[in-house]
Structure 1
Amino acid sequence: MNPLKRLASQTAIYGVSSVFGRFLNYLLVPFLTYSFAPAEYGVIAEFYAYMGFLAVLLTFGMETGYFRFRSSDEHAPEVVYGTVLRFLVVSNALFLLAIFLMREPIAELLRHPDSPEYVWWSAAILALDAIGAAAFARLRAENRAARFATLKLIEIGVNVGLTIFFIYVCRHAHASDPQSLLGQLWIPEIGVGYVFVANLMASLVKLLLLAPQLRDGFRVFDGVLFARLIRYSLPMVVIGFAGIINEMLDRAALKYLLPFDDETNMAQLGIYSACYKLSILMSLFIQAFRYAGEPFFFSYAKQADAGRTYAIVLNWFVICCVFLFLLVTLYIDVFQYFVGSAYREGLHVVPVLLLANLALGIYVNLSIWYKLTDRTLLGAGVSIIGSLITVGLLLWWVPIYGFEGAAWAHLVCYSSMVLISYVLGRHYYPVPYDVGKVLGYVGLGVGIYLGSGWLQSATSWHALAVGSLCLAAFLAVVALVDGRKLLKGAGRRSHEPNG
């Protein structure tokens, strides 16, 4: 199959599961923001920010290492997989034991002394998900996107279903009759902790469904290969950890940096985190692209036209991201209802967060230079620079501008990483990216968004009418400038022989 069509097909499958599954998860945002006050929702955002950091550490960069050595033909795929899986099982079991023994001191440190169970439940979720990540990587490498998607949807469905069951059904049953069967399942002291309980049960279900992939992985372990895997993968941990600093440090640090009392800080964290969720469509697309793109970039790297193909991929990617940026910002009057009214004072940061995600997506495309040339240490350096920018700007801007400073820190950080990665990529793995066109589409999207406000005030048209007109204008420009050319390029590739 034409590689571009294969990438699009795989992205579509991952994307459908990711979009539909995360949409189910997304429905929890209005559910939770209408069920809990901003300060309570802030607890959820805080713990999931901590979990984001630990999730990177607990997979040890082994997913990328698995793809790298599986495609090298130096080792049998089952040997690479078994080596990765055994290591992740042992290391995460030790982590889980350590957290269980230290859960109370950790809860004290995080200023949640009455809820040490939150720490334990979060750790259990992390350990189960890290082990499952190896099995999911194998499914991706074997192009079993349908099974991958099915299992992800089941996991998310169980998580969403149980969250609603506990927080709505059991909570209301308890309010009506605390001694009823369902009413006894609701313990008021746990409160928002039922979000973690539901997630933990969903992770257990997922691991049971992955049993066939997990069982096969325990047959082999290669110590020499493991040493090479660690050397290659550990820089990916630095890259991933720096990436999480860029992505989630704001939500972990806001309650410490905002200049208010603890309750107000937690409420501000809840508002910011809920509005951050409104950039979900962009995040979903980037996630789906990552799932399909990483194996594709590795498998296609040896082709003579790899660079030209990667450039076309970036063009399509940016067009899709700008479309999503406009879809959310032009129809913000609709999207705002996905969060409770107490959270809508933060809507003004949504365009900034969307642009930051767009820059992140471009960086994901550009980052192939260090993955394909085994220069992961240099890649780690780029991420570290980004994390230093994030930390510096958060310390500077959040005490002054509040969570608005956190949103702008995201945009500055990712934009800087794009620039640095592009410069390094031109030296180590040149790809003929059409920089002018990429910047042009981004500028066009921002211009249309800003122009929509002027058009609405000048004409007094309804916001949805103005949004529809502006979105149609963007699609018309894409069709006029690039539609035929991009489709012609993809069609030409379909007539070329594979491999």
Structure 2
Amino acid sequence: MNPLKRLASQTAIYGVSSVLGRFLNYLLVPVLTYSFAPAEYGVVAEFYAYMGFLAVLLAFGLETGYFRFRAGGEWQPETVYGTVLWFLVLVNLLYLLAFWLGREPLALLLRHADHPEYIIWCAAILVCDSIGALAFARLRAEERAARFATVKFIEIGANIGLTLLFIVVARQAYTADPQSVLGQLWNPAIGIGYVFLANLAASALKLLLLTPQFISGFGAFNVALFQKLMRYSLPMVIIGLAGIVNEMLDRAALKYLLPYDDATNLAQLGIYSACYKLSILMSLFIQAFRYAGEPFFFNYAKQHDAGRTYAIVLNGFVIACVFLFLLVTLYLDVFQYFVGADYRVGLGVVPVLLLANLLLGVYVNLSIWYKLTDRTLLGAGVSLIGAAITLGLLWWWVPLYGYQGAAWAHLVCYAAMVGLSYGLGRRYYPVPYDVGRVLGYILFGVALYLGSRWLVTVLGWHALAAGTLGMALFMALVGLELWRWQVARRTR
């Protein structure tokens, strides 16, 4: 199969499980935002932000290391898989024990002394997800996307079903009759904590379904390989942590940086986090692309036309991201009902966050230079610079501008990282990216959004009419680009 078609088909399958599947999972956001006050929802956002940082630490960057050494040919795939698996299982079990012993002082430190159980539930979720991620990486490397999608869908379905069972069905049954079978499943003292319980049960089920990937076809722990894996992968931890700083520090820090009391700060965090969810189409597309793209970039690197192929991939990727940017921003009057009425005051951050995530996706494409040349320390440097920008801007802008400052910090950070990565890539792994065309796609999308707002606010157009006009103009550009690409392909 043509490599670009194979990448597109793999991205589509991963998209079904990750984009569509996670989108279904995110449909819980309306349930939660219509059921709980912003301050309560802020607790969920806060803990998942903490979990984002810990997830990177517990993975040790070994997922990328697994792809690198599996494709390198020096070691048998079973040996690489077994070495990584044994290490991850040991470290994650020790981590779970540590959090069990320290749950009460940690809950006190995080100002959640009444709920130390949240610490244990979240720690157990992380263990399941960290170990499960390696099994998913193996499925990706073996191009078993259908199996990957099946397990993902079951996990997501379980999470959605259990959340609805606890928060909707059992809660209503408790209100009607606390002694009923379903009513006894609801404990008001747990409240929003049922989100964590449902997630934990779904993650444990996923681990059970991945058992065949754990027990078949892996070798023993290899010390020499492990040393090489860690030298390659540990810089990926720095990159991952810096990435999480850029992606999630705002939600972990808003509670502490906003100049109000804890309850108000949590309410502001809840509003910001709910509106952040409106950028999920972009985020999940990027995630699906990562799943398919990382093994593709490694496997295709030795082909004579690798650089030209990577440039074409970036063009198509940006077109898809601009489409998603416009889909949400031009029809925001429809998407706003995704969150409860108390949360819609924060909708102004959505275009900024979408554009920031678009630039993150561009960075994901550009970052192949350090992965393919084993210059992961330089890649870590770029991520650390981005993290420093995020830290500085959050510290400066959030006390002044609230969560609006957090959204703009994302945008500035990713713009800087794109510029740095492109410059370093030109030196260490030159790819003939069509920079003018890529920038043109993005600027055209932003112009269409601003133009639609002008039609609505100045000329009094209906928002849906203005949005549809903007989308039609963009689709005309897409058609023109496809025609141009087909002509170039015939004449090559």
Same fold (TM over 0.5): yes
Q: Deviations over 1:392-411 (max 9, x none)?
A: 00000000000000000000
Is structure 2 residue 108 aligned with structure 1 residue 108? yes
- Matched residue, 1:334: 334
- What amino acid is the match of 2:142? E
Contact kept? 2:80, 2:219, Cα under 8 Å: no
Cα distance in 2 between the residues matched to 1:267 and 1:217: 49
- What amino acid is the match of 2:355? L
Report the 3-state secondary structure (helix = DSSP H, G, I; strand = E; otherwise coil) of the residue aligned with 2:105: helix
Report the 3-state secondary structure (helix = DSSP H, G, I; strand = E; otherwise coil) of the residue aligned with 2:72: coil
Contact kept? 2:83, 2:219, Cα under 8 Å: no
- Matched residue, 2:84: 84
Q: Report the CA distance shift for 1:490/1:262 in structure 2 as closer, same or farther (over 3 A).
A: farther
Shift of 1:218: 5.8
Cα distance in 2 between the residues matched to 1:328 and 1:231: 42
Structure 1: runs of 5 or more not aligned: 494-499
- Matched residue, 2:484: 485
Shift of 1:492: 8.7
Contact kept? 1:312, 1:486, Cα under 8 Å: no
Contact kept? 2:366, 2:422, Cα under 8 Å: yes
Q: Report the CA distance shift for 1:488/1:190 in structure 2 as closer, same or farther (over 3 A).
A: farther
Cα distance in 1 between the residues matched to 2:113 and 2:395: 26
Report the 3-state secondary structure (helix = DSSP H, G, I; strand = E; otherwise coil) of the residue aligned with 1:374: coil
Is structure 2 residue 227 aligned with structure 1 residue 227? yes
Cα distance in 2 between the residues matched to 1:93 and 1:113: 24
- What amino acid is the match of 1:324? L
Cα distance in 2 between the residues matched to 1:489 and 1:254: 50
Shift of 1:458: 4.5
- Matched residue, 1:179: 179
Aligned pairs for 1:440-455 within 5 A = 440-455=440-455
Contact kept? 1:245, 1:387, Cα under 8 Å: yes
Contact kept? 1:5, 1:490, Cα under 8 Å: no
With normalisation by structure 2, the TM-score equals 0.98
Q: Deviations over 1:422-442 (max 9, x none)?
A: 000000000000000011111
Aligned pairs for 1:319-468 within 5 A = 319-468=319-468
Q: Report the CA distance shift for 1:292/1:111 in structure 2 as closer, same or farther (over 3 A).
A: same
Cα distance in 1 between the residues matched to 2:197 and 2:77: 35
Report the 3-state secondary structure (helix = DSSP H, G, I; strand = E; otherwise coil) of the residue aligned with 2:102: helix
Report the 3-state secondary structure (helix = DSSP H, G, I; strand = E; otherwise coil) of the residue aligned with 1:71: helix
Cα distance in 2 between the residues matched to 1:75 and 1:219: 11
Structure 2: runs of 5 or more not aligned: none
Q: Deviations over 1:43-72 (max 9, x none)?
A: 000000000000000010010000000000
Cα distance in 2 between the residues matched to 1:492 and 1:225: 47
Between the aligned residues of both structures, percent identity stands at: 75
- Matched residue, 1:68: 68
Shift of 1:298: 0.1
Shift of 1:460: 2.7
Contact kept? 1:55, 1:130, Cα under 8 Å: yes
- Matched residue, 2:214: 214
Cα distance in 2 between the residues matched to 1:152 and 1:487: 35
- Matched residue, 1:308: 308
- Matched residue, 1:280: 280
Cα distance in 2 between the residues matched to 1:22 and 1:150: 13
- What amino acid is the match of 1:376? T
Cα distance in 1 between the residues matched to 2:83 and 2:410: 36
Shift of 1:23: 1.6
Report the 3-state secondary structure (helix = DSSP H, G, I; strand = E; otherwise coil) of the residue aligned with 2:104: helix
- Matched residue, 1:497: none
- Matched residue, 2:202: 202
- Matched residue, 2:165: 165
- Matched residue, 1:496: none
Q: Deviations over 1:94-131 (max 9, x none)?
A: 00000000000100000000000000000000011101
Cα distance in 2 between the residues matched to 1:491 and 1:332: 40
How many residues end up aligned between the 2 structures?
Answer: 492
Shift of 1:217: 5.8
Contact kept? 2:79, 2:218, Cα under 8 Å: no
Report the 3-state secondary structure (helix = DSSP H, G, I; strand = E; otherwise coil) of the residue aligned with 1:432: coil
Shift of 1:456: 2.4
Shift of 1:488: 5.0
Q: Deviations over 1:369-397 (max 9, x none)?
A: 00000000000000000000000000000
Question: Over the residues paired in the alignment, what is the CA RMSD in angstroms?
Answer: 1.2
- What amino acid is the match of 2:311? A
